[in-house]
Structure 1
């Protein structure tokens, strides 16, 4: 029953995603067309490497929880493994960017391939300690994925080749679109390997070895080394981002809102599998994951439609928080220990709505960050935003060691509801301060459409 529902929902959502994307394209201005042959060749060399890295990352998403459960670990033990990955991001996430600047982005991209390949290999072992080490290295690799590759491209684009800066937006609008397509395909491939062909939940991690190894080989063979500012003091560079956050109320408010909302998102990353894949109701997790990714694409298109109708990004952000608060409220009733099949279906529907909200959230927050964070310290400040998010997420998952919380997930969804409601209150304050500051400028900045139509920056990572 659940399997038929999931496949039917995936087909319906795919048609809806196509329709909303078509409407969004009609509402947007015609994109800049670039016919420079050398630029297109340079783009393709970046896309090939980056898309393989993304595929290797996304393939690991749908069956992480299922694999740990397959090895016989209790939910509290699985939570510790998730916490190891998030804690690793807290410790290393703020320094991967500066380290890449100092030691070289090409070297870090090669290191990403090696580290993430090792992470996948640890999944072949049922030993808890080996899996724990793998999660730590996975957190490091994820931080490198969302800093090193983009930094390498921007330097090559601007400093080495001297292409116009507006062409950068063209490249990243393409990567944003294909990121979503790759995520959907990764979910389907994972489902086929684990469920259809019957190789079990370890299959997606074996498949992920291919693109990760090829990615590293291509970096070695086709990329040249480049660096950032190698003269900056490492510790001073990291702390400067923190000082900037506390000096500007808009940055502090936006960063807090981001931390609260993304905490809900990453707690959901852990919870969706045990809620949907119960003893009485078994769901095809790869197709569920692909359905989530289609919903994110629908949300991205919905953002473009709302923006074209005159809705401000801060209003769209507030609407996303309301959507998340609503879905968490629903799950506070349906994610009970003795959930019926109908309860599970309602939870699944709520999760789909949540993912649509997430799809709207990413382009909204990207635009707002571009307006309030100084360009010179953007990567540093954004890494600091992730610290409280990871701490909140780790705290929530560690609470699963408490038997009453582990048995009744509604308590965790209730905590997420509180986070979302707090985000709404802070968003009201941000809208006042940000609006006042924008009025002072008299001439608002007209950002490129491609930055407003982003789909996914660190997913699930």
Structure 2
């Protein structure tokens, strides 16, 4: 069956590639209208365009190297720890042992990573990126150890690194974009390119990781990520200007107390942070269960040698389709809240269909799918397409809503409920099973959709407007930043 699944995945990958090509052509067809919207009917000044290109080339190489290192490790997280044995008994690690290591990273991110987000604002966003590379490198190197306490320490350090990756690069980009006084709409474009590039990097990283694992075992992809982390840190150190929280991007600023105070005063920010916490908690729950769910759906005799490298490539191709969808919707002038809402509902539907045996049987027959693992990959790819839309869209919304001085602190605070949700589901996984965990993830998506609807309603009540950076220059705001000027002025 593994060979049949591999052949079917090749067809799915080709179909996703075709969908991406169509969306990209449609996006190019609307490029002239997008340019008119950004420049208010005239060509952008050459110095502004040059500054934008320079910022893109500063940000993207380092960020994509960091993401490539992260993607190298992701497909083999479960396998590398499942290959370990207890020193005392010689027994292999059980799924429960692996889940505990998985949880250790989230607990560390909850307890320590929150303070790390505040430090990113006060000590510097570039420094935070370099610290992420060091933490992720230490976590990757720890997989060569056999002692459980060293593996646990590696996951704790890795959890702190994950918090830094979530906060530091984006905070640096937004602060640098503001310092250069670039058009507000252009920030959404950078996010679109970043997450499209992330999808391509993920596909390539998955293939490289698969070959590395075939040659050197499940530890090899982790070790192969170390040069990528070093290169990303070197580029950031050499080309990024340091910036911090506080007035004008300098000074101390930040702080968890100030961030929490702003969240309590701003219902719109609470709604946006609820969207982020719920969606990303759902995504991490999916990461925890998708591989075991696919394995469990396969016949017992066919569970060895399932083509997870191709599965991962299909997921990332679906992400690229989602990123292209975001770019097309943005080019057509749609508000981020408007097109993200059906995406969240669709993500909830995809996860529920993957967890519902009656729906699985019915749709498997309707779509003429020969085996359940292919059906699950199909549902999970639909969810990954939603992920591809979500990240650039929510990046634009954060850029418009979050105050620059406390950006890192607020983003770190958001990860507290996110991590607690993931921990709760992971601890209850034995009782819930893969099906129950997927249904929890689907419920989180529905709640995220409700929070986004609340944000949209508040934006509509505020009235349509422009992001301050766009208004000051007489430029039209990007869709992700429309209706948000009053939200920004509240600070």
TM-score higher than 0.5 here?
yes
Pick from 338, 342, 346: which aligns with 1:315? 338
Question: Take 1:62 and 1:25, find their aligned partners in 2: how far apart are those partners?
Answer: 33
List per-residue Cα deviations over 1:320-372 (Å, max 9, x = no partner). Answer: 22112211221222499xx9972222111100111111222223323433444
Alignment of 1:207-246 (within 5 A): 207-218=224-235, 227-229=244-246, 232=252, 237-246=255-264
The answer as to 2:369 corresponding to 1:369 is no
The 1:64–1:341 alpha-carbon spacing in structure 2 relative to 1, beyond 3 Å, is farther
1:78 Cα deviation (Å)? 1.5
Pick from 167, 176, 188: which aligns with 2:207? 188
Pick from 3, 9, 12: which aligns with 2:12? 9
Alignment of 1:283-294 (within 5 A): 283-294=306-317
Counterpart in the other structure of 2:349: 326
1:221 Cα deviation (Å)? 5.7
The 1:68–1:174 alpha-carbon spacing in structure 2 relative to 1, beyond 3 Å, is same
List per-residue Cα deviations over 1:124-144 (Å, max 9, x = no partner). Answer: 223322221111111112222
Question: Take 2:183 and 2:18, find their aligned partners in 1: how far apart are those partners?
Answer: 32
Question: Take 1:306 and 1:399, find their aligned partners in 2: how far apart are those partners?
Answer: 38
Counterpart in the other structure of 1:277: 295
The answer as to 2:401 corresponding to 1:378 is no
The 1:394–1:207 alpha-carbon spacing in structure 2 relative to 1, beyond 3 Å, is same
1:274 Cα deviation (Å)? 1.0
The 1:431–1:183 alpha-carbon spacing in structure 2 relative to 1, beyond 3 Å, is same
Between 113-122 and 436-445, the greater mean CA deviation after superposition? 436-445
Secondary structure at the aligned position of 2:74 is classed as coil
The answer as to 2:79 corresponding to 1:66 is yes
Question: Take 2:332 and 2:173, find their aligned partners in 1: how far apart are those partners?
Answer: 33
List per-residue Cα deviations over 1:292-340 (Å, max 9, x = no partner). Answer: 121112112223334555654223222122112211221222499xx99
Counterpart in the other structure of 2:278: 260
Using structure 2 for the length normalisation, give the TM-score: 0.78
The 1:198–1:321 alpha-carbon spacing in structure 2 relative to 1, beyond 3 Å, is same
1:149 Cα deviation (Å)? 3.6
Contact 2:125–2:243 under 8 Å retained in 1: yes
1:432 Cα deviation (Å)? 2.7
1:208 Cα deviation (Å)? 0.6
Contact 2:337–2:480 under 8 Å retained in 1: no
The answer as to 2:323 corresponding to 1:300 is yes
Counterpart in the other structure of 2:108: 88
Between 27-36 and 412-421, the greater mean CA deviation after superposition? 27-36
Unaligned runs of 5+ in 2: 39-43, 85-91, 483-491
Counterpart in the other structure of 2:478: 448
CA RMSD of aligned residues (A): 3.5
Using structure 1 for the length normalisation, give the TM-score: 0.83
The answer as to 2:67 corresponding to 1:50 is no
Question: Take 1:139 and 1:288, find their aligned partners in 2: how far apart are those partners?
Answer: 25
The 1:84–1:2 alpha-carbon spacing in structure 2 relative to 1, beyond 3 Å, is same
The 1:181–1:375 alpha-carbon spacing in structure 2 relative to 1, beyond 3 Å, is same
1:423 Cα deviation (Å)? 3.2
Alignment of 1:169-188 (within 5 A): 169=187, 172-188=191-207
The answer as to 2:403 corresponding to 1:390 is no
Counterpart in the other structure of 2:88: none
Question: Take 1:285 and 1:128, find their aligned partners in 2: how far apart are those partners?
Answer: 26
Between 221-230 and 350-359, the greater mean CA deviation after superposition? 221-230
Counterpart in the other structure of 1:22: 25
The 1:362–1:181 alpha-carbon spacing in structure 2 relative to 1, beyond 3 Å, is same
The answer as to 2:448 corresponding to 1:423 is yes
1:3 Cα deviation (Å)? 2.0
Unaligned runs of 5+ in 1: 453-461
Counterpart in the other structure of 2:158: 138
Contact 2:122–2:253 under 8 Å retained in 1: no
